[in-house]
Amino acid sequence: MNQDGYNNPRTALSTPSEKSPGPDYVDQAGQKKQDDIRTACAEGNIPALQQLAESEGGLLTDSLRQLAWPILLGLPAPTVNASNEKLAESDDDDGRWKELPHHRDEDQVQLDVNRSFVYYPHNLSESDLERRRSQLSALISEVLRTYPYLCYFQGYHDICQVFLLVLRPALAARCVARLSVLRIRDFMLPNLGPTTSQLRLLPDILSRADPTLRRHVATVEPFYALAGTLTMYAHNIEAYRDIARLFDVLLAREPVFSIYLFAQIVVDRRDEILAIDEPDLLQVILARVPARMDLDGLVARAALLFAAHPPETLPAWRRIARASALKTARDPRQAARQTLRDGAAWFDTQAKELQWLDLRNSLLSVAWAYRRPAKTVAMAVAVGLVAFYVRRNSTLVNYVVSFFS
């Protein structure tokens, strides 16, 4: 029995059905936790759901996730048919999104969708696989067309695939929209600058957790964590039950917790990593997320790491933009009350900051290209004045950036 009073809920190991990719059976030992999850959902008690999601076994079953995930993301609790605990059919897609203009990234979406559903669900016929892929394409297209400012990234389909397997398509679209705009917004901006800023937190965490290990990997840039953190580990973990359980805690915790998870994965592989000295091989090894992990133990250790070294104590945290999802969703309970309009405003702020940085770098490049000893100081002052003026006149940013491009 763990510290929350729950026994380890052993789940059935039968082959998942096509409709329910993960086992949905929990023995009598997990009954109390199931009841607690239902009660927390009925009450909209997010702190209780956070504790339950983080504790051993996570949210246990897909039927419970269907109730809890929308609440964790700030949506009303889904209506449930009391007789069989199935979600009501009131969230059907009305199809209006299909009338919206195509998103600029839909061609890439289709390429990625064609490579989806590789690991789960199992034993799909060709027709069932095609239907699943069609649903996934529609889900992503709906979100992108409805919020056209979002930029698609490769790996987004891995995240959406998990939501589609847990939730009915229309509810999945609403949940993915809130996830995209309010929690993984940094990944959907016009460039990878904010994503890179997030990865810079990783060396700081390793420095606090294991200075020796940090020194050993100091020559390797933290981009090895990109695939894992960018896709909420859906690109790395091949077992459906494992990724659904990991999503429980990622949706319940603050977005930055994903970085702490990766740091803990690296620390857990300490001996393997310290045995490698060749930088190129080290980069490859660091990027690997073990296919099989004790997820409950990993989550518990990452939570302790987070508590010991919260993000505000890390030097790189100061370089995270104020409008970053890491800071605006720092409190998951507060984030659940945010609106999509709030997220759009933060996106706009971040996009303008990125344009400003691009402009500054372009101006500095021009100054460097035309540098002469007698004019270096004058050019630097001119660049500074131009940049200062343009920053306060954002309507010029797009024009000047495109000119230097």
* Tally of domains within the chain: 2
Contact call for residues 69 and 251 (beta carbons, < 8 A): yes
Higher pLDDT, 360 or 269: 269
Asked if residue 29 belongs to a domain, the reply is no
As given in the structure block, the two tokens for residue 218 are: 């100091």
Residues 309 and 379 in one domain: no
* Tokens 């039927």, residue located: 63
Give the pLDDT mean for 157-170.
96
The sign of the CA dihedral 267, 272, 276, 281 is: negative
Clarify whether residues 313 and 374 are in a common domain. no
Of the residues 285, 312, 338, the one at which a domain ends: 338
Residue 3, amino acid = Q
Phi first, then psi: what are they for 272, rounded to 5°?
A: -60, -40
Predicted pLDDT of residue 395:
45
Phi, then psi, of 74 in degrees rounded to 5: 95, 15
Query: In the block, which residue shows the tokens 């919260």?
Result: 310
Shared-domain flag, residues 320 and 216: yes
pLDDT at 5 over 50: no
Tell me if 61 is assigned to some domain: no
Q: Are residues 312 and 382 in the same domain?
A: no
The single residue listed with the structure tokens 């270096």 is 376
Residue 264 placed within a domain: yes
Q: Which of 308, 338, 368 is the last residue of a domain?
A: 338
Please indicate, yes or no, whether residues 216 and 329 belong to a single structural domain of this protein: yes
Q: How confident is the model at residue 122 (pLDDT cuts 50, 70, 90)?
A: confident
Of 46-55, 121-130, 356-365, the range with the lowest mean pLDDT is 356-365
Q: Do residues 381 and 252 share a domain?
A: no
pLDDT band at 15 (very low <50, low <70, confident <90, very high): very low
What's 238's domain CATH number? 1.10.472.80
Domain containing 364: what range? 356-402
Residues 332 and 374 in one domain: no
Q: Do 225 and 301 belong together in one domain?
A: yes
Structure tokens at 238: 């091949």
> Model confidence over 84-101: pLDDT tens digits?
445 544 455 678 999 999
Q: Which residues, other chains included, contact 5 with Cβ-Cβ below 8 Å and sequence gap of 6+?
A: 32
- pLDDT bin (cut points 50, 70, 90) of residue 404 is very low
Does residue 252 register a pLDDT over 70? yes
**pLDDT category of residue 389 using cuts at 50, 70 and 90:** very low
Same domain, yes or no: 328 and 387 = no
Q: What is the DSSP letter of 26?
A: B
**4, part of any domain:** no
Task: Establish if 242 belongs to a structural domain.
Answer: yes
Residue 297 lies in a domain: yes
DSSP conformation class of 88: P
Please check whether residue 147 is in contact with residue 105, taking contact to mean a CB–CB distance below 8 angstroms. no
- 47: cis peptide before it, omega within 30°? no
Q: Do residues 225 and 290 both lie within one domain? A: yes
Q: Do 285 and 201 have their domain in common?
A: yes
Q: How many CB atoms are closer than 10 A to CB 233?
A: 25
Interval 361-387: pLDDT, tens: 666 655 556 555 555 555 554 445 444
Burial (CB < 10 A; 0-12, 13-18, 19+), residue 169, is middle
Give per-residue pLDDT as tens, 297-326: 999 999 999 999 999 999 999 999 999 999
Answer whether residue 313 is part of any domain: yes
Number of H helices and E strands in the chain, helices first, is: 21, 2
Question: 289 and 362: one domain?
Answer: no
Q: Is residue 97 part of a domain?
A: no
* CB contact at 8 A, 250 and 73: no
Question: Cα–Cα distance between 36 and 206 in angstroms, integer?
Answer: 36
pLDDT tens track for 321-337: 999 999 999 999 999 99
